Amino acid sequence: MMPPSPLVAAPHLKNWLKLSEGKKLIFFTGRVELGQGNTTALLMMIADELDVLPSSIILETARTDLTPNEGITAGSMSITIGGQALRWVASALKMQLLEIASKRLRVHSKDLSIYRGHIFNKGKKTERSVTDFFDGLDLTNKIIDDAKPKTFGERRKSFRDINRIDLESRLFGAPFIHDLKFDDMVYGASVHPPSTHSHLVNLDLEMLKGRPGVIKVVKNGSFVGIIASTFYHAKNAASWARNNGKWESNFKEPFNLFESLNNLDSEPETVIESRDVNKNSGTWFEITASRPFIYHGSIGPATAIAKAEKDKITIFTHSQGVFQLRQAIAKVLNTAEEKICVIHKPGSGCYGHNGADDVAFDAVLMAKSVPGRFLKVVWSRFDEFHSSPMGASMVTKSRALLSSNNRLVAFDVELNSTPHTNRPSANFPNLRAAGYLANPISPSRTPDVPVERGGGADRNAIPSYEVGGVRVRKRIIYDTPYRTSALRSLGAYCNVVANEALLDSIAKQIEVEPIAFRLDHTTDPRAREILERLDYETKKDRALSNEEGIGWGIGFARYKGSGGYCAVMVKVHVGENVSVTDAISVSDVGEAVSSDGVKNQVEGGIIQSISWTLKECVPVDGFSATAESWTDYPILKFSEIPNLHTILIDRPEEKPLGAGEISQGPTGAAIVNAVADAIGCHVTNLPITRDAIIGTINAQD
C-alpha cells in the first residue's frame, strides 16, 4: 500500500499531532472546514483507526505555524488524500502505543488491542487506557515505518455518522470570521476600482481623511484603503470615495464576451484524441451549451483580520489555501514567509476561489499603517460582486457520431472558456490589490489544470461512457476585462450539461429510452448500478406524469472521470418560469466515511446547480459587472428548494472518492433534459429563463 502524498513533506508524527495538557490527542490537518462537514469525517477516520472515542480527539485545521501544508482544500480531495494521510498517522500512533504497552505490561504486543481508548489483552479489558502510555511516545518517529492501516473489513462502524462537530458551536453562537473581534480593533475598507483593468486618476484624499470616523487613509498606486474607528464609518467613507473618485479603464473598446467565445479563430489546443473521429461513417449529432459568469454567492462577503508587528504579520482568513496565500503575500511584500502567520477561520460557505485571499491582502496593506492593532476588513456586497473572482463563462460544443446500429462510435468536444484557475501562489500571486500598487504585480496567466489532474475548463469533457473515438479541444481566453477563477466543479458543469443534453437528444430522436441508451454505452458495473437504481426509484412516478408542462430528465457523470459517480433525475414544471419540484439522486463515492456528510454534499450541490441552471447570470456592461445587490443577481430561494430523495451506494471496500463536486453537472444536465421533455427542445444557453426558452423555440422555427 502506497503512503498518501502528504506524508512525503510531513513524514513524522510530530508534524501531525501533539498531546494536550488534559491528555487529549491534538491532530493537525492542512485541510479547512468550509461548511462541508469534512472535519467531522476526518475526526471519524482518526478515531476509527486509533480505536478511541472521537471525544478524546481535538482536530486543528489549517494554520501556517502549526499544521502540515496540504495545499488547497478543493477538488473533493479532503477525504481521498487528507483523510488517508490521517489514517496512516493514527495507525502509526496506535502501533507505537501498543509496543509501549506491551513492554510495560510484559505481554506480547500481538495479544494487545485497543477499543474505545481502553487496552485489551487477549480480548479481555485491562485497567489501562491509551492515555497511560502517552508519556512514552516518540513523536519523531517516521509514520511510514510504523503504520499498518486497517483493511476495510477491520474498520468498526461505531464511529460512523457522529454528529457534525462544527454545527453545535455555530448554532449556539461561535463566531464566523465575520463575527471575530479583538480589543482595540480598528476597521478597514478598500476603495476598489470599478474593474480589474482600471487605474485611479483622481481622488481628493484630504476630503476623504475628513470623513466621519476616519483614522487614516492608505494610498499605494491605485490602491486606496480607509482605516476607521467603526465598520460603518469605514464603509461609508469607502462609498464616498468610490462615488467621488475618477478611474480609467485600460480597455477602450466595449467587450462582448459571448461574441468572443463563439467567434474565436485561433487553433484550439488538443487535450485528447484517441483516434481520428472523422473517419467513421454514420450520422453526426451536435449540441452547444453555454453558461455566463456566475458569482460564488456566499451569504457572508469576503472578510479578513490582520495585525502587523515589527517582525510578524498575523492574518485570520477563510481562504481555502492558507499556505498558498502566505506565499503570495510574502512575494508581493518581498518578505520571508516565516514572518507571516495565516490562520483559517470559517466563513459562510465557500465554493472555490472567492474574495477571501484578496480581502486578506487588503487587510495586510492597511494593518501595516496601524502596527500592533488588529484591523478587520469586511467587503460590502458591492465589493463582493465587483471585485471577487467569478466563475468562468464558457461555451461547449459536443458532437457525436451514431452508427447504423445506434452505437456511439465517436465523440468530439470543443470548448472555449475564460480561465478556471487564477489562485494565488508563490509563482503567481494573483492578489487583486497587488496589481494596483505603485510597483504592481499584475495577475498572471495561470495555466489551466492539466487533464492528468482532472482538468480545468476541459473537466468532464470526456464523456462518462464508452463511445469509441474521443477528441477534446479547448481554447482559454485570457484577454478580457473580467476576472475569473475556480468555482465548484470548474468546467465540469457546462461540459456535462452539453454531453448529457446531446445523449438525451440522440436518444429521443432514435426513440430509445434515455436511461436505456446510457446503459447501452457503459459496461462499468458501478455506473450501471447507479443508473439502474435511479431508473427503479423513478419509473413509477415518471409513468404517471402526463400533465402539460411537466417533464422528467436525467443527468449522469463520473466526476473527473476518476472520482465519485452521480446520477440525478429531476421533475420540472414549465409555466411562466421553470421550477424543479423533485430531485432524486443516486451516488457512489466509494467508502462513505460519513454517509450523512456525503448526502449533505450531494444535496448542497443539487440545490446550487438548480440555482445556477435556472437563475444565475452576472450582468456585465462590457467592462465590468454591474450587479450591486441580490436584487440584481437572484439566487434560488428556500421556498424553491425541491423535494430531495438522496440515495447513497456505500462501498466500504473501495477507496473514498470525494463528494463535494459530483452533483453539479448531472443536476444541470437533468434540468435541461427535463425541460426538453416538457417543451420539446433543449434550452442549453443557460440559465433557463423565460427569455432563453422563447429564444430557443424561435430559433427552431
pLDDT one-digit tens code per residue, 81-117: 999 999 999 999 999 999 999 999 999 999 999 999 9
Q: Is the pLDDT of residue 140 over 60?
A: yes
Mean of pLDDT values over 483-500: 97
3-state SS assignment for residue 488: coil
Cα dihedral: 55, 57, 62, 68 (round 10): -160
Q: One-letter amino acid identity for 451?
A: V
Measured from the Cβ of residue 176, the count of other Cβ atoms closer than 10 Å reads 16
> For residue 410, what is its C-alpha cell?
465517436
Range of weakest confidence among 9-13, 171-175, 240-244, 667-671: 171-175
Q: Is the pLDDT of residue 535 over 70?
A: yes
Mind listing the pLDDT tens digit for each residue in 584-621? 999 999 999 888 889 999 999 999 999 999 999 999 98
Alpha carbon separation from 548 to 538, 581, 678 (Å, rounded): 19, 15, 7
545: confidence class by pLDDT, cuts 50, 70, 90: confident
Single pTM value for the model: 0.94
> Does pLDDT of 8 surpass 90?
yes
In three-state form (DSSP H/G/I as H, E/B as E, the rest C), the secondary structure along 622-681 is CCCECCCCHHHCCCCCHHHCCEEEEEECCCCCCCCCCCCCCCHHHHHHHHHHHHHHHHCC
Confidence band for 253, pLDDT divided at 50, 70 and 90: low
The residue type found at 165 is I
Q: Which CATH architecture has domain 6-164?
A: 2-Layer Sandwich (3.30)
Q: Enter the C-alpha cell of residue 478.
A: 485570457
Highest mean pLDDT among 159-173, 436-450, 453-467: 453-467
pLDDT of residue 160: 59
User: Which residue pairs, CB below 8 angstroms and at least 24 apart, start in 527-533?
Assistant: 527/464, 527/556, 527/558, 527/565, 529/588, 529/649, 530/556, 530/565, 530/566, 530/567, 530/586, 530/587, 530/588, 530/649, 531/556, 531/567, 531/586, 533/586, 533/647, 533/649
CB of 493 closer than 8 Å to CB of 397: no
State residue 166's pLDDT score.
78
Residue 499 carries which side chain, given as an amino acid letter?
A: N
Using only C-alpha atoms, what is the Rg of the chain?
27
How far apart are alpha carbons 248 and 481 in whole angstroms?
A: 13
Tell me the C-alpha to C-alpha distance, in Å, between residue 426 and each of 332, 400, 412, 432, 441: 9, 42, 37, 15, 12
On whether the CB atoms of residues 652 and 581 are closer than 8 A, the answer is: no
Residues 645, 400: Cα–Cα separation, whole Å: 32
Where, residue-wise, is CATH 3.30.365.10 in the chain? 6-164, 391-421+456-700
- pLDDT > 60? residue 299: yes
- Decide yes or no: CATH 3.40.50.1220 for domain 391-421+456-700: no
How far is Cα 465 from Cα 523, in angstroms, rounded to an integer? Answer: 8
Which pLDDT score is estimated for 169? 74
Helix spans in 143-204 (H): 143-146, 167-171
From the list 494, 512, 490, the residue with the least C-alpha distance to 503 is: 512
Say what percent of the chain tops pLDDT 90. 79
DSSP state of 417: E
For 26-40, write each residue's pLDDT tens digit. Answer: 999 999 988 888 899
pLDDT at 93: 97
CB under 8 Å to 360, separation ≥6 — which residues?
304, 306, 315, 317, 319, 325, 329, 342
Is the confidence at residue 56, as pLDDT, over 70?
Answer: yes
Query: What is the DSSP pairing of strand 246-249 with strand 198-202?
Result: antiparallel
In this prediction, residue 313 carries a pLDDT of 98
pLDDT at 111: 94
Tell me the average pLDDT of the chain.
93
264 pLDDT above the threshold of 80: no
The runs of H, that is alpha helices, within 78-176 are 84-105, 143-146, 167-171
In this predicted structure, the answer to whether residue 427 has a pLDDT above a threshold of 70 is: yes
569 phi/psi in degrees, rounded to 5? -120, 130
pLDDT at residue 498, as a whole number: 99
Quick check: 682 pLDDT over 90? yes
Q: Please answer whether residues 583 and 569 qualify as being in contact, where contact means their C-beta atoms are separated by less than 8 angstroms.
A: yes
Q: What is the average per-residue pLDDT within 281-306?
A: 95
Q: What pLDDT score was predicted for residue 23?
A: 82
Cα–Cα distance for residue pair 360/446, rounded to 1 Å: 21
